[in-house]
Amino acid sequence: MTEAKSLIRSKAPLRISFAGGGTDVAPYSDERGGMVLSSTIDMHAYCTIRPREDREMRIRSLDLAKDESWAANGSMLSYDGNLDLIKAVLNHFEVKQGFDLFLHCDAPPGSGLGGSSTVMVSLIGAFSEWLSVPMSQYDIAKLAFILERQELGFAGGKQDHYSATFGGFNLMEFRGEETIVTPLRIKGDVLNELHYHLLLCYTGRTRDSAGIIESQRSGVRTGQRQVIEALDNAKRLAAETKDALMRGDIRRIGELLHESWEQKKLFTSHITNPHIDRIYSTAKGCGAIGGKISGAGGGGYMFFICEYERKHEVADALAKLGVGVQNFSFDKYGLQTWRYRA
């Protein structure tokens, strides 16, 4: 059976960020150090490579509804806003063989679940598997960050790349160029109880995170006291939330989520809007202990820790606002790659 008939596949999980999101974004993370507590969930970005015997590179992105074809002639692909994530990976690996590439993600762009970074991780995983390039988890996450944030200049922090690569519950620390990922070993009954209380929902609106993140970065660069103190508090709350999680104190986690949301709204005025405020106040009024938006803000997914006997009331009230509840489970696996011979 020829190599051209084998498939190389990868999948990387999306994440929800419990506390500390925003502290992983430069210049704050470089100057003061960041800390984020997050967990991956069973929603993924997928990549499939089918090698070809010619030098045509055929790209299909289901989420962006795009089909492209390029030539693998050894020259660098230029960045023009069209599938640049893919081009950055192809340029890095200097791909000179043809292939068919299929990409799709379980969440829409702008969801706040780390989608674009997770797509980048899945791309790197698939191409490193196909081309037999050995890479550690830290190697993959760092390369994903460099390509997306530095080479392409897409706004954002570091947490998404590391979360998608490592998987599971992690406390991540960012100190300038150094990143430390500490996997958390949480008892099964605590995870089950946390999941039982959690409600993940889609606001019905996506958002462009770039402007929100740039506003936050500007606040740090110009030394705005409110922004810097809010980020300091977010970092502190990440450590406190980790401690509550290790103790299995679900109610305290809910209370800390509320505190994290209050601090997050101080990063920039673009974090929330009347639609999000209405969702949050409705959830709190129906039995949510606390919650927050997942990601930069402005839209996408939100999640709440609820009184378990009132979780259904929160879901019903949010449904009347056009907010959809997303069934999910925690996912302990990070990036996975494999080969399948059809």
Smallest CA-to-CA distance from 291 within 281, 299, 313 is with 281
How far is it, in rounded angstroms, from Cα 149 to Cα 117? 9
Token readout for 232 is 């300091």
Instruction: Supply 39's token pair.
Output: 């967990």
> Residue 330 carries which DSSP code?
B
Q: What positions carry a catalytic annotation?
A: 160
Report the distance separating Cα 216 and Cα 231, nearest Å. Answer: 10
d(CA 197, CA 195): 5
Extract the tokens encoding 153: 């200049």
The pairing of strands 34-51 and 99-105 is: antiparallel
Rounded to a whole number, what is the distance in angstroms from the first to the last CA of the chain?
9
Report the alpha-carbon distance of residue 279 to residue 205 in Å, rounded: 12
Q: Where are the alpha helices (DSSP H) in 50-184?
A: 84-93, 115-130, 137-145, 159-166
Q: What is the DSSP string of 16-32?
A: EEEE-TTTTSTTHHHHH
Query: ω into residue 274 within 30 of 0, thus cis?
Result: no
> How far apart, in whole angstroms, are the C-alpha atoms of residue 213 and residue 160?
14
- Contact assessment for residue 212 and residue 271, using Cβ atoms and an 8 Å cutoff: yes
